[in-house]
Structure 1
């Protein structure tokens, strides 16, 4: 949730940037956010393990199941909406290390953003920025559900 929330907090300022400034600013995220983003799948796996260790048909089980569903949805938003834009913007970038491996990964095969007509940069910007807002909301929902489960 923290990384997606950081993007949301930047959103108002970034929406005012020119194309050149926006594309320059986008490059600061790689590879730093890639390293931080590696914790998200780990968190989902640990939550799944906790779910399996919780007695079924209890309130705790259903709160954990809902939190896990929110985290899965958060990942789906990334892979379906955010990552194709990352791949499009970074297709000519010379990344190294973890960033190079991660951003060369296209789970759906054949860069989704590659079309006969090059997408407008504002469409790509909006898709990238708002997908992070959705991810932050889903992460916050998962967090609230987990806190609720702990408190009850």
Structure 2
């Protein structure tokens, strides 16, 4: 049962990693976009990425449970703890850097009830230039991708040992 839950947890972490990695891989192309094109492109992400984004907090919860289940597993436990810390750090980067800018990009976009509530949290400062906001958003996803990839690798190593 623990192995099956470990695989399920690894899947959640993989989805969390995939979403931030997808954003990071788009960076070179998106840096070439005009303001209007960039803001237009940003709005297309939210339906799917918001739904898929649930994998990240669920992955954190699953890693906590997995750490408890593996509390006497020696080195494997420490790999799970590392995976938890890395995924939690990626999530923190989202709330500190990415989310405030999301609110700025979406302020003129009509969203559903859930999206409107979620993105009504504090948003980016209109006084900052759009390129500054773009850079915060883009590079926060690079940081998130690196952290989530580390989390995935740590969880995979724990499964292998």
Scaled by the length of structure 2, what TM-score is found? 0.85
Q: Which residue of 1 aligns with 2:159?
A: 150
**SS of the counterpart of 1:95?**
coil
* Structure 1 residue aligned with 2:71: 55
SS in structure 2 of the partner of residue 31 of structure 1: helix
8 Å CA contact retained: 1:5, 1:136? yes
Provide, for residues 91-112 of structure 1, a one-character-per-residue CA deviation record: whole Å limited to 9, x for no partner: 23221143223212x2xxxx35
Structure with more of its chain in helix, by fraction: 2
- Gaps in structure 2 of 5+ consecutive residues: 1-16
User: Using the alignment, how far apart are the partners of 2:111 and 2:79 within structure 1?
Assistant: 40
CA distance in 2, matches of 1:63, 1:39: 20
Moved over 4 A (4+): none
- Aligned residue pairs: how many? 145
Question: 1:98 corresponds to which residue?
Answer: 114
State which drifts further: 7-16 or 94-103: 94-103
Unaligned runs of 5+ in 1: none
Partner of 1:120: 129
Contact kept in structure 1, 2:90 and 2:144, CA below 8 Å: yes
Deviations 1:55-80 (A, max 9, x none): 25821111111100001101000000
Q: Say if 1:22 and 1:30 are closer, same or farther in 2 by CA, change over 3 A.
A: same
Q: CA RMSD in A?
A: 1.5
> Which whole-Å CA distance do the structure 1 matches of 2:118 and 2:88 have between them?
19
